[in-house]
Amino acid sequence: MKALKEKLERLQDGEIKENEPLKNHTTWKIGGPASLFFVPGHVEALKKAVEFIKKSQVEWFVIGKGSNLLVSDEGFHGVIIKLTEELADIKLEGSRVRAGGGVSLIKLATLMSKEGFSGLEFAGGIPGTVGGAVFMNAGAHGSDISNIFIRAHILYPDGTFKWIDREEMAFSYRTTKLQSERGICIEAEFGLSKGDKEQVRATLQKNKDYRRQSQPWNYPCCGSVFRNPLPHYAGQLIEQSGLKGYSIGGAQISTMHANFIVNKGDATAKDVLKLINHIKDTISREYDIKMATEVEWVGEVQ
């Protein structure tokens, strides 16, 4: 790991830390240290870093704002790469917008609403980056990334780049092929439509207000924990099972929205995992429905 750190330092294009606490980089405020933590200052630095990491045969994982992630209490023995505002260019051409992988999705939606472009209103309140949103096909309010997606520039683990269109992305509910291929979304292009500026802004604000009023952002959380087992809704099933407010250690099923697990102050990853498994067992027993998480696990399985 020392030799890899020296190689990353020689790039002189980014920030690198050892044993960086990942609880400082996740919205759940949970997670042990990463052996190495790298924030690239440019796409070329990211490409070279991925090549170095592959040659070193070291585990790696890419994060943005750290939502939808549960990091092991023991941390991550490898390299965490964080995409930030350094990869956050936004370019509007006609009704198409191209945004870097590190762009805040909320920021992009807000900027486009001010320009009077419709299509991103659903993203009001989604706490992630463009790269993460494409990777997970993020969505809300009856829409998702796939509805506006045109193409994305992807960096693969072997250091190659490729533009991928909508058909190649293989979108489905909270899923894309990037999850199996470990592709990193460097930038994405979306197709929007010109609308009434005040109406677009009003709809975006309405969606933001709904999330603030119905979801527990007063405590650290990751967003929705479970995928909706359509035609059912995860939150409704959990609430009907009487689990609202149920706690294990410092982790609690939110009393505001049952598909959220909040960190009441001292929750560990083990607490959250136990609570997730308790929910799965309960829903399976009562409804014969298998629950699947939206959350990605990072680190050694506990």
100-122: per-residue pLDDT in tens?
A: 999 999 999 999 999 999 999 99
188 phi and psi angles, rounded to 5 deg: -140, 150
Active-site residue identified among 20, 121, 187, 294: 294
Clarify whether 286 is annotated catalytic: no
- Average pLDDT, stretch 33-43? 94
The reply to whether 203 and 125 lie within a common domain is: yes
CA dist 34 and 40 (Å) reads 16
Co-location of 251 and 277 in the same domain: yes
| Overall domain count for the chain | 3
Q: Residue 50: its pLDDT value, please?
A: 93
Q: Is 302 a residue whose pLDDT tops 90?
A: no
pTM for this structure?
A: 0.90
The answer to whether the beta carbons of residues 219 and 200 sit under 8 Å apart is no
Mean pLDDT, to the nearest integer, of 54-70? Answer: 92
Asked if the structure places residue 227 within a domain, the reply is: no
User: Does residue 28 sit in the same domain as residue 145?
Assistant: no
Give me the chain's average pLDDT, please: 94
Is 180 designated active site?
no
207 and 126 both lie in a single domain: yes
Taking the C-alpha atoms of residue 223 and residue 27, their distance in angstroms, rounded to an integer, is 8
- The whole-number average pLDDT for the span 136-160 is 93
- Is 195 within the bounds of a domain? yes
Contacts for 2-10: CB closer than 8 Å, 24+ residues apart: 3/56, 4/36, 4/52, 4/53, 4/56, 4/58, 4/79, 5/36, 7/52, 7/56, 8/36, 8/38, 8/49, 8/52, 8/79
Residue 228, in any domain of the structure:
no
Cβ contacts of 198 within 8 Å, gap of 6 or more: none
Task: Point out the domain boundary residue: 28, 49, 82.
Answer: 82
Q: What is the pLDDT of residue 125?
A: 79
Q: Which of 67, 104, 224, 254 is catalytic?
A: 224
- For the chain, how many residues are written? 302
* Claim to verify: residue 248 and residue 265 sit in the same structural domain: yes
165-209: per-residue pLDDT in tens?
999 999 999 899 999 998 999 999 999 999 999 999 999 999 989
CA distance 247 to 191: 43
Within a domain: residue 106?
A: yes
Question: What does the DSSP 8-state code read for residue 129?
Answer: B
301 has a pLDDT exceeding 70: no
246 and 189 together in one domain: no
Q: Does the structure show a pLDDT above 80 at 87?
A: no
- 86, 174, 187, 189: the catalytic one is 174
Q: Say yes or no: 77 and 97 in one domain.
A: no
Residue-wise over 153-163: b if at least 16 C-beta within 10 A, else e? bbbeeeeeeee
Whether pLDDT at 80 is above 90 = yes
Q: Are residues 104 and 207 in the same domain?
A: yes
Q: Is 294 a catalytic residue?
A: yes
Closest CA to 260 of 274, 271, 244: 244
Q: Which residues contact 199 (CB under 8 A, 6 or more apart)?
A: none
Cα dihedral 229/121/127/244 (nearest 10): -40
Neighbours of 203 (CB within 10 A): 18
Q: Does the pLDDT at position 26 exceed 90?
A: yes
Q: Which of 82, 113, 129 is the last residue of a domain?
A: 82
pLDDT of residue 218: 87
Instruction: Give the range of the structural domain holding residue 99, as residue numbers without chain letter.
Output: 86-214
